[in-house]
Structure formats: structure tokens, C-alpha cells
Structure 1
Amino acid sequence: MTRRENTRTRRARAAREERARILLLCGAEVTEPSYFRGLKQRYRHPAVNVVRKGGKDPVSLIRLAAKLREQDECDETWCVIDVDEYNIDAAFSEAQRLDVKLAVSNPCFEYWLLLHFERCEAPLPCFQDVEPRLRQQVRGYNKKSLNFSDYAAGVTDAVDRAKHRCGDITRAHQVNPSTGVWALVERISTS
């Protein structure tokens, strides 16, 4: 009996580019971590590590991020912060010194959420000015329980609107309202 040759050609396994490992610290307890965990699932990006460290001022959050980066091998380290009453210039200096990227929202992260539904360029001095507009878009909006599915369909629109408003993430804290969250969202969705 003659040995039968295998005429099937083997397919070469597609080389999959390794995704960027992103360490992400949120200064809030619920809103930002819930959003980014949902975004991580949407883009099936298991290399994003979302760490909730609520109640930290931006400079302390940045220092903690740099310390955690030493323990967690990652390619990029990001902190998500609001302008609120903080000295954001000091935060930018510390972030640059420690090689931590910032996604700053002015006045607050809820402005980023609002951009999922509408373009908004009117001045918004504080969270209390953003929240009613967001509640018109998301019935039952509650800062303490965010459901990412409420925002999933508008992610691309939010990125476009935020870029249009202020495409320079190093200036987002100086323009009211604005947000640099779009840059982090793009990293998660494309890396």
C-alpha cells in the first residue's frame, strides 16, 4: 500500500498583534470605572486594567498610578480626572514628570457622557450644570450606577464631538466645557 500524501495545505496562523496593556486609574468611585469597564468589554480589550481609586486628588492619583505601573507591567498609564476645584496645572506637571497620560474633563466626566447624545459648547461651570442636560438624555441617570449600554451607541459621536470642541488633550482643562477622554477611548478601541 502506498502512503497517501497530505494534499491539504496548512493555513498559517495569523499573527495577531499584541494589544497595548493599559493601566487606567479613575478618581471617581463609580461613574468612570463603570464606563471604562463597559468600554473594555465592548472592544474586547482584556489588556485594559481599570483601577478605581475614588476620592484622590489628581496629583495623588498620578503618583499612585506611577507606583502601580511598577507592579503591573503595562505599556501606558492613564488617569481620568475632572477639573473640579483642583490645580490641574500641577497635575499636568506631575503627569509629565512621571510619564502618566491624563484624560481630563472640564468641568466633569459627565460632560463626556453628555457628548454621546448631543454637541454642547455652552459654558458649564460645574457638575450641577451638566447633570440636568444628561438626565434629559438618559432617564434615571444616577452618578452611583452607570450602565454602559446607555452610552454604547454614541461612543464614536462623543469622540468626534470632543475632538471638535478641543482636539488638544493638553488644553482640555483650560476650555470649558471640554474633555480629553476621547484620546483614551481611541487608544482602547484601536490598540
Structure 2
Amino acid sequence: MKKLNRGGHKHSRKDSSRVAGPGNYLIVTEGIETEVNYFNRIKARIELAYKNEINVDKVILKVHGTGRSTKVLVKEAIKKRSLSTYSEVWVIFDKDDNIDFDEAIALAKKEDLNVAWSNECFELWLLLHFQDLKSAIPRDDYYSKLSDHFKKGNINKGIYDKNIKEIFDITFPFIDKAIQRSHNLICDCTLDRNSSPTKMNPCTTVQDLVEELIKYIK
């Protein structure tokens, strides 16, 4: 016997296939601008999508930009997790010049934290929305390449900078391509046996977190 919905009617196929409401996520990020802006826009979209079904005052996504890196960031996330209850906790950080990059990822996994890391930087994830990238490039080149794409698309006066509030909205139309390109990079590094994140350049796992969240808004 089919279950009835709140209106006393049989559930349609659409009702039964609906994704369950989002959990309570904690995201602790090294960056205090780009990453915070990016995930706060996802938060806003999730709350809008579920505004008639959840209390929008409830914390669905809590994003903390710390300005701290690698192992220090992981320890900060562990501390924040102890202060409340979360369905998932994520840490986001870049390789940059951090010598404890691999150690931080290992510590996070040991403590049952999810990691969205980027080698070289978060801008790799953004750049993959617009193009493939198979070889390592200097950090500044990410900014110039993104600015080139912004010029072509007449985005933000043709200039990429780290504090664009709508960076998620700008890149969202190309998100499926970015996800596929990111997974391809992971596969390429695995085939090359570069299993150490420090050696996996360019590479990112930000797509794992993004895929987890956008299912609530797509």
C-alpha cells in the first residue's frame, strides 16, 4: 500500500525521488575570502530551495574562514566540532608552500574529517570551470588565466579577484564540466602513481564537497 503525503494523496514518483533535506554541515576553510564567498552562496541557495520546508534560521551550512593553514586548520576544525553537533565536518586548504600538507590531510582523515584540498590553490577548482589544466603552473598564473576567461565572458569587468561575492553564481553554469575535469585529474594522478597529494599537481578534491552540496539545489 502506497503511503500518503501530507495532503492525503498518494506520493507521486517525483515525491519519492526527492532528495532528503540537507544536514548540518560545518566547513572550516583556510581562506577568508574566495572560499567563504563561494560556499556562503551555496548556503544561500540551499536555504532558498528549502524555505517552505525548513526553518531558514537553522544552521544548514556554517562556513568559517580562519586564515590558518594545514594542520593548524585541522586542529581548529576538531575544536569547533566539539562545540556542537554536525552531520559532516569539512576542512578546505591549499598546498601553497605548506610543508605539512600531506600530514594535515592524514590527520584530518584520522579524525574523521572530510578534506577538500587543492594543489596548488582553490583557484584551480574555479579555473576548471572554463578549461582543462594538465600541467602545474605558478599560483599567479591561475589569476591571469581566470581574468582571461572573465574578459571573454564579460565577467566582473574582465578581472578576477579573490573577493567576488557571486563567484559561485558566476561559475555555476559550468559546474558539471569542472566536476568532470577534477575527477579526470584525480584519475591521471592515480595512473601516474602520484598518490601523495603534495605530488598531485595540478589536482583538487573540492569537487567532492561541491557534489555533496549541489544535489540540494540542482
Structure 2: 5+ residue stretches without partners: 1-6, 51-58, 151-157
Alignment-mate amino acid for residue 112 of structure 2? D
Q: TM-score, normalised by structure 2?
A: 0.74
Structure 1 segments, 4+ long, off by >6 Å, are 12-16
1:157-168 pair list within 5 angstroms: 157-167=177-187
C-alpha RMSD of the superposition = 2.3
Higher gyration radius (CA): 1
Residue of structure 1 in register with 2:205 after alignment: 180
1:53-72 pair list within 5 angstroms: 53-54=66-67, 56-72=68-84
Residue 147 of structure 1 is aligned with which of 162, 166, 170? 166
Residues 1:91 and 2:104 are matched in the alignment: yes
Secondary structure in structure 1 of the residue aligned to 2:9:
coil
What's the CA shift string for 1:151-182, capped at 9, x where partnerless? 121111111110111157x7554311111000
Q: Report if aligned partners of 1:34, 1:147 keep a CA contact under 8 Å in 2.
A: yes
Change in Cα spacing, 1:30 to 1:43, as seen in structure 2 (3 Å) is same
Q: Report if aligned partners of 2:94, 2:121 keep a CA contact under 8 Å in 1.
A: yes
Greater CA deviation, 143-152 or 157-166? 143-152
What's the CA shift string for 1:10-39, capped at 9, x where partnerless? 237868734232110110110011011122
Identity of aligned residues (%): 26
Q: TM-score, normalised by structure 1?
A: 0.84
Greater CA deviation, 11-20 or 155-164? 11-20
Q: Report if aligned partners of 1:112, 1:181 keep a CA contact under 8 Å in 2.
A: yes
Change in Cα spacing, 1:106 to 1:115, as seen in structure 2 (3 Å) is same
Shift of 1:122: 2.1
Q: Report if aligned partners of 1:172, 1:180 keep a CA contact under 8 Å in 2.
A: no
Structure 1: 5+ residue stretches without partners: 1-8
